[in-house]
Amino acid sequence: MRLTRFLTSVSSTGSNTIPDDKIALLQALIVAPSEINRMSGVTSLVESQIVSKMPHIGGTMTGGLVLNANPVSATQLATKSYVDSALASAVSSKLSLSGGTLTGALLLSGNATAALHAVPKQQLDAAVVAAMPSVGVSNTTGIAQWNTTVNGQVGTGWAAFQAKLQAVIAENRRNPLSSYAKVTAGGVYPGSTAFGGGVLLSDGRVFCVPYTSTTARIYDPVTDTVSTPTGTYPGGGAFFSGVLLPDGRVFCVPYNATSARIYDPVTDTLSTPAGVYPGGTAYVGGVLLSDGRVFCVPSYATTARIYDPVANTISTPTGTYPGLGAFLGGVLLRNGRVFLVPYSSTSAYIYAPDLDTLLFPTGVYPGTQAYAGGVVLSDGRVFCVPCNATTARIYDPTTDTLSTPGGSYPGSIAYAGGVHLPDGRVFCVPNSSTTARIYDPETNITSTPPGTYGNHQGGVLLPDGRVFCVPHNATTGVIAQCRRYKWPKEFLLSPFFNKF
C-alpha cells in the first residue's frame, strides 16, 4: 500500500508536479503486485477520458457541434443556417438552366454561328442593313446626293422607293413592335421658342433650326449628346424648318429673316446665300425638288420662292397665294410636285415645278390653324397633321379626293409636324399637347402612346427607327422610342421624309 500512500501524499499538495522532497521516497518505493493491479485500474480510467476528447491538432468527431453564433471572421466555423441562407441567396441571383427572365443586359462572347445561338445586336443590325439596300443613292463621300439623274426618287422612281418602304413596313408588321416609350434625350436647350423644325444630317445627327435662338444645336443620337455648331443667327423667329441640300448642307427657310442661311456640317461653317426674302413670317417649311432646288412654302407671303444652290440664286415661281398663314409645311408627291398643307387656308394648293404653275386639288379644310405639316404614306397619300383641328385629313393625289380618317385629336395647337414610323404608322409631334398621337393607316385607328411631352415642333426619324422631337419651348429634347429597326441612312435622307 506504500504506492497508494505515496500517491495520496502527492495529490494532497494540490500540484500537478512531484515535489523534490518526494522524489527520494519514490525512488525507494517497492511496489507490490497488488498495488500494480490497482494502478492499472486508475490509468485505464484516465485513458478512457482522454480518448473521448479532440486533440488540438485535429481529428474526427462522432457527434454534432453546436456553435453559439454565426461567424464574423473568415476562419470561424459557420452554422448550418448561415450556410443555407448564403447558398439560397447565391442561387436566387443566377439564371436557371430551364429558363427565366434577366434583369440586366446579356453580353455575348461573339456573333452567332449556329441556328439556335443567341444573336447580338451588332450582328442583327448588319443583317438588316444588308437586306435593305440603299435606295438609288450615291454616297461615296458620306454626303447624300438627291437629284433626278442620281436617285430617280420621283416620277417613275417612286415605285422603287415605295417598294422598299413597304418592305420595311411589312418586316415590322411581321415582328410586332415593343411598347412605345418616351425618353428624355441628353443635353439642355434654351427653351423660349428656340428652334423650329430639324433636319437629319448625312452623318445621322440632327440639326435643330434656330427660330428665336441665335445659335443652332446638333443632337448626336449615338452619343446622346448635344453640341453648338459654329455660327450666329438673327433670332427673332428668323427661320422655320430646313432642307437638306444635295451636297449635304442645310438650307434654313426664312420666316422673319430677309436672307437665308446655309450650314455646312462638314466644314462647320455658316454662310448667307444670295437673295432677299420678304420677312414678316413669310415662309414655313421647305421641300427639295427633284432638280435639287428648294421650294419655300408660303405662310404670310403671297408668292413663293425657289432657291437654286448650284447657281446660288433665288427666283419667284408663278402663282399667287392667300397669305395670312395659309400653309404650314409641304409634302413632296410621287410625281415631283409639292402639296402645301393647309394651316389657315380652307383649300390645299399644289405647286407643279414641271409646269411652273399652281394646281388646286379637291377638298375643303377647316382653316383656323387646322394642320401643321404632312406625311407621305406608303401608298402615296398625304396625311395632314392636326394642329387646331380635332380630326385629321388624308389627301389622295391619284384620285384627287380628300377624306377624314378615324380618330379624334385635342385641337388647341396640339401637334406640329409628323414622322413616318418604321411600321407604317404616323407619329404626331406634340406641340401644346402633353401626349402624342399615332395614326395607323392600315387599321384606320388613332392611339395615344405612353409618355408626357413638353413643347416641341417638328420631328426627325433617326436611323434606328426612333423619333427625335425638336425642342421649341422645351429645354430638353425628347425621343419617342419604338422597336429599334435600323434603316439605311440614305433612305431617311430622302426629301419624302426629311422635311417639316
From residue 455, give the alpha-carbon distance in Å to each of 286, 326, 408, 472, 484. 22, 23, 20, 6, 24
- The pLDDT of residue 209 is above 80: yes
- The pLDDT of residue 30 is above 70: no
pLDDT top residue among 396 and 173: 396
Cell numbers representing residue 456 in the block: 416641341
**Per-residue pLDDT averaged across 438-453, rounded?**
94
Rg (CA), the chain: 41
What band does 18 get if pLDDT is binned at 50, 70 and 90? low
* pLDDT computed for residue 159 by the predictor: 74
- The pLDDT of residue 36 is above 60: no
pLDDT top residue among 148 and 435: 435
| Domains in the chain, number | 2
CA 383 to chain centre: 25
Query: Does residue 73 sit within a domain?
Result: no
Looking at 330-334, 467-471, 492-496, which range is the least confident one? 492-496
Q: Please give the residue range of the domain that contains residue 204.
A: 171-492
144-158, pLDDT tens digit by residue? 344 444 444 444 457
Query: Does residue 498 sit within a domain?
Result: no
Query: Does residue 64 sit within a domain?
Result: no
**Rounded Cα gap, residues 450 and 500, in angstroms:** 24
One domain for residues 261 and 410: yes
- The pLDDT of residue 112 is above 80: no
* pLDDT computed for residue 129 by the predictor: 40
pLDDT top residue among 14 and 108: 108
324-374, pLDDT tens digit by residue? 999 999 999 988 899 999 999 999 999 999 999 999 999 999 999 999 999
**Rounded Cα gap, residues 378 and 209, in angstroms:** 27
SS3 89: helix
Query: Does residue 136 sit within a domain?
Result: no
* pLDDT computed for residue 252 by the predictor: 98
372-388, pLDDT tens digit by residue? 999 999 999 999 999 99
* pLDDT computed for residue 101 by the predictor: 76
pLDDT top residue among 401 and 485: 401
pLDDT top residue among 281 and 149: 281
Query: Does residue 404 sit within a domain?
Result: yes
**Rounded Cα gap, residues 460 and 355, in angstroms:** 31
**Rounded Cα gap, residues 213 and 207, in angstroms:** 13
248-264, pLDDT tens digit by residue? 899 999 999 999 999 99
* pLDDT computed for residue 48 by the predictor: 63
Looking at 298-302, 345-349, 427-431, 480-484, which range is the least confident one? 480-484
- The pLDDT of residue 106 is above 70: yes
418-427, pLDDT tens digit by residue? 999 988 999 9
Query: Does residue 450 sit within a domain?
Result: yes
**Which CATH number do you get for residue 301?**
2.130.10.80
Instruction: List, in sequence order, the alpha helices (H) in 67-182.
Output: 80-92, 121-131, 148-151, 158-174
All residues at 6 or more sequence positions from 477 whose CB lies less than 8 Å from its CB, including other chains: 184, 185, 186, 187, 189, 219, 226, 468, 469, 470, 471
Q: Is the pTM of this model over 0.85?
A: no
Query: Does residue 26 sit within a domain?
Result: yes
* pLDDT computed for residue 149 by the predictor: 40
pLDDT top residue among 76 and 13: 76
404-419, pLDDT tens digit by residue? 999 999 999 999 999 9
What band does 160 get if pLDDT is binned at 50, 70 and 90? confident
Cell numbers representing residue 154 in the block: 420621283
Query: Does residue 430 sit within a domain?
Result: yes
All residues at 6 or more sequence positions from 438 whose CB lies less than 8 Å from its CB, including other chains: 180, 421, 425, 426, 427, 428, 446, 447, 448, 449
Asked if 459 contacts 481 with a C-beta cutoff of 8 angstroms, the reply is no
**Rounded Cα gap, residues 428 and 431, in angstroms:** 9
* pLDDT computed for residue 156 by the predictor: 44
**Rounded Cα gap, residues 260 and 137, in angstroms:** 27
Percent of the chain residues past pLDDT 90, beyond the cut:
54
Mean predicted lDDT score pLDDT of the chain: 83
